[in-house]
Amino acid sequence: MYDYLIVGSGMFGAVCAQKLKSLGFNVLVIDKRSHIGGNVYTENHDGIHIHKYGAHIFHTNDKEIWDYVNSFVEFNRFTNSPLAKYKGKLYNLPFNMNTFYQLWGTQTPQEAINKINSQKGNVADQIPGNLEEQAISLVGRDIYETLIKGYTEKQWGRNATDLPAFIINRLPVRFTFDNNYFSDKYQGIPVEGYTRLIEKLLENIEVRLNVDYLKDRQAYSNLAKKVIYTGAIDEYYSYQFGALEYRSLKFEHERFENTPNYQGNAVINYTEREVPYTRIIEHKHFNYSETKHTVITKEYPAEWKIGDEAYYPVNDEKNMALLKKYKKLAKEEKDVYFGGRLAEYKYYDMHQVIRSALYFVKENLAE
Active site residues: 170, 174, 247, 279, 299, 347, 349
Is 73 a binding residue for ligand FAD by CB under 6 A? The answer is no
Number of Cβ within a 10 Å radius of residue 310: 23
Cβ-Cβ contacts under 8 Å for 305 (sequence gap 6 or more): none
| Sign of CA pseudo-dihedral 141, 146, 147, 153 | positive
Interatomic CA distance for residues 137 and 65, integer angstroms: 33
Is 94 a binding residue for ligand FAD by CB under 6 A? The answer is no
**Closest alpha carbon to 31 in 14, 48, 50:** 14
* From ligand UDP, ligand FAD, none, interface partner of 167 (C-beta below 5 to 8 A by class): ligand UDP
Identify residues 226-285 at the interface with ligand UDP (CB under 6 A): 269, 271
Query: Which residues make beta-bridge pairs with 206?
Result: 28
Binding segment toward ligand FAD, per CB under 6 A, in 115-123, 145-153, 171-179, 207-215: 207-215
Binding mask 75-114 for ligand UDP (x = CB under 6 A): ---------x--------x---------------------
Interatomic CA distance for residues 103 and 49, integer angstroms: 35
Q: What one-character DSSP code corresponds to residue 243?
A: P
The CB-of-189 to ligand FAD minimum distance in angstroms stands at: 9
* From ligand FAD, ligand UDP, none, interface partner of 134 (C-beta below 5 to 8 A by class): none
Q: Which residues of 78-89 are buried (b: 16+ CB within 10 A; e: fewer)?
A: bebbbbbbbeee
* From ligand UDP, ligand FAD, none, interface partner of 148 (C-beta below 5 to 8 A by class): ligand UDP
Interatomic CA distance for residues 42 and 36, integer angstroms: 10
Is 60 a binding residue for ligand UDP by CB under 6 A? The answer is no
Nearer to ligand FAD, 177 or 288 (CB): 288
Candidates 89, 170, 208, 318; binder of ligand UDP (CB under 6 A) is 170
Nearer to ligand FAD, 196 or 351 (CB): 351
Interatomic CA distance for residues 85 and 87, integer angstroms: 7
The CB-of-184 to ligand FAD minimum distance in angstroms stands at: 10
**Closest alpha carbon to 354 in 95, 62, 114:** 62
Cβ-Cβ contacts under 8 Å for 166 (sequence gap 6 or more): 315
Q: What one-character DSSP code corresponds to residue 192?
A: T
Nearer to ligand UDP, 24 or 88 (CB): 88
Binding segment toward ligand UDP, per CB under 6 A, in 162-170, 236-244, 334-342, 354-362: 162-170
Query: Which residues make beta-bridge pairs with 190?
Result: 75
Candidates 280, 350, 360, 361; binder of ligand FAD (CB under 6 A) is 350
The CB-of-279 to ligand UDP minimum distance in angstroms stands at: 8
User: Could you list the residues that contact ligand FAD (CB under 6 A)?
Assistant: 7-13, 30-33, 38-40, 53-58, 211-214, 230-231, 249, 311, 340-342, 348-351, 353
